[in-house]
Amino acid sequence: MKTSHLRAAQSVPSTQPVGPVAAEAADLLRQLVAEGHLSAEAAEQRTREIAAELAATGGYRQSDQELLQGARIAWRNNPQCIGKFYWKGLEVWDCREVGVGGCDESGLFEVLVEHLRLAWNGGKVRLLLTVFTPTEPGMPGGPRVWNGQLIRYAGYRQHDGSVVGDPGTVELTEAVQRMGWRGQGTEYDVLPLVVQWPGGEPRWFELPSDAVPEVRISHPEYPWFEALGLRWHAFPTISDQVLELGGLRYTLAPFSAWYTCAEIGARNLSDTNRYDKLPAVARGMGLDTTRDRTLWRDRALLELTAAVLHSYDQAGVSIIDHHFATKQFVRHEEREHKHGRGCPADWSAIVPATSGSTTPVWQRRYEPTRVHPNFAPQPTLWPSGTDG
């Protein structure tokens, strides 16, 4: 495994190449100088090298330093993430050579599996970004996976309109079924990964079980809770974002981190357009669900979130609670201001889904400014069939 790590320090080069890619490359070098990762002299030399490479090939290859520090800054700049306090701890696995020249989908898949194993780390989840080859000059895009996350559960639409599994993945599930995949039809069938190179046909691959650690959800006080059969995968790995870095676009750059308990308990398992488990939890608690005035949803939401936190702790899997996460975010914001930087953030993404007003971010206001480098969403690749 080749992990990019170096130092950097730079200032503004006096001779900047012309063109959008060159301009963004120069801007990245400026940032590396300003943050002490690259000297002004080294940046000047690097600017000339990039200009020559762009003139000769239409593209350029970023150094390990530029890749690592740039990816960390991209995470810091992303307005959607509450965990940016830890941005300096992000590890970058450089896999830019995988499949180059051969469009080897199976080889790319094996690296994705290894990414999951490395990020899992026996439950001590690592902050890991794996970077594959960027979009080449003249090409419509780079390698992609269809999945929004490397680990997600299938959603099976029933004849009556209901869904078994995750309603959030119904269209993707139907797309891979049209490709020949068949799941077991349970609530927690792990979807296969669909890998595609630009201009090539998509291929799907089943994830091995050791790359998909899961946590079964129980409650510290309610013995009946475990009978609900709830579970969730141990950590998220975002895989549908493009890393926009120094004028290059890395269309496949899966990023693993740890969960906050509210993401699972108050969103994935609770949202009415996801698993919608609050009625079942409320029934187990003996709550009156006939009237909103009983606040049964609120009470069930709290206990489900508490169950998630308890279960991950019992399983020895990294997870943080929303109070800790928001306090760390405020510390990150204050630290950024001391360095003369802003703190781009989307308030709706930073405030947790449960007990938001009890956290320190509630009364703060943020601007979801988008600056480079950064991560950005990409359009889905799968065709929507006549069955939806």
pLDDT at 139: 73
Residues 6+ apart with CB under 8 A from 16: 22, 23, 26, 47
Q: Are 248 and 134 in contact (CB under 8 A)?
A: yes
The yes-or-no verdict on residue 151 having pLDDT over 90 is yes
The yes-or-no verdict on residue 59 having pLDDT over 50 is yes
Length of the chain: 388
pTM of the model as a whole: 0.92
Helix axes 64-77, 20-34, angle to 10 degrees: 90
pLDDT at 4: 38
Which residues face 377 on adjacent strands? 241
Nearest CA among 6, 136, 140, 21 for reference residue 71:
6
pLDDT in tens, 14-30: 344 458 999 999 999 99
The yes-or-no verdict on residue 9 having pLDDT over 60 is no
Mean pLDDT of 118-136: 96
Q: Are 369 and 344 in contact (CB under 8 A)?
A: yes
Mean pLDDT of 305-332: 98
Cα 256 to Cα 272: distance, rounded to the nearest angstrom: 26
pLDDT at 15: 42
pLDDT at 382: 80
Confidence of residue 100 (pLDDT cuts 50, 70, 90): confident
User: What percent of the chain is modeled with pLDDT above 70?
Assistant: 93
**Residue predicted with more confidence, 203 or 384:** 203
Token look-up 């762009």 returns: 54
The yes-or-no verdict on residue 378 having pLDDT over 90 is yes
Mean pLDDT of 299-313: 98
pLDDT at 140: 73
pLDDT at 18: 55
pLDDT in tens, 252-271: 999 999 999 999 999 999 99
Mean pLDDT of 31-50: 97
Mean pLDDT of 106-122: 97
Helix axes 20-34, 40-57, angle to 10 degrees: 160
Amino acid at 235: F
Query: Residue 223: is the preceding peptide bond cis (ω within 30°)?
Result: no
Confidence of residue 327 (pLDDT cuts 50, 70, 90): very high
Token look-up 């960027």 returns: 134
Which residues face 284 on adjacent strands? none
- Concatenated DSSP letters of 152-194: -B-EEE-TTS-EEE-GGGHHHHHHHHHTT-----STTPBPPEE
pLDDT at 198: 85
Cα 326 to Cα 17: distance, rounded to the nearest angstrom: 41
CB atoms within 10 A of CB 202: 17
Cα 274 to Cα 168: distance, rounded to the nearest angstrom: 6
Confidence of residue 102 (pLDDT cuts 50, 70, 90): low
Cα 102 to Cα 18: distance, rounded to the nearest angstrom: 32
The yes-or-no verdict on residue 6 having pLDDT over 60 is no
**Residue predicted with more confidence, 68 or 382:** 68
pLDDT at 200: 87
Cα 241 to Cα 233: distance, rounded to the nearest angstrom: 20
Confidence of residue 10 (pLDDT cuts 50, 70, 90): very low
pLDDT in tens, 225-245: 999 999 999 999 999 999 999
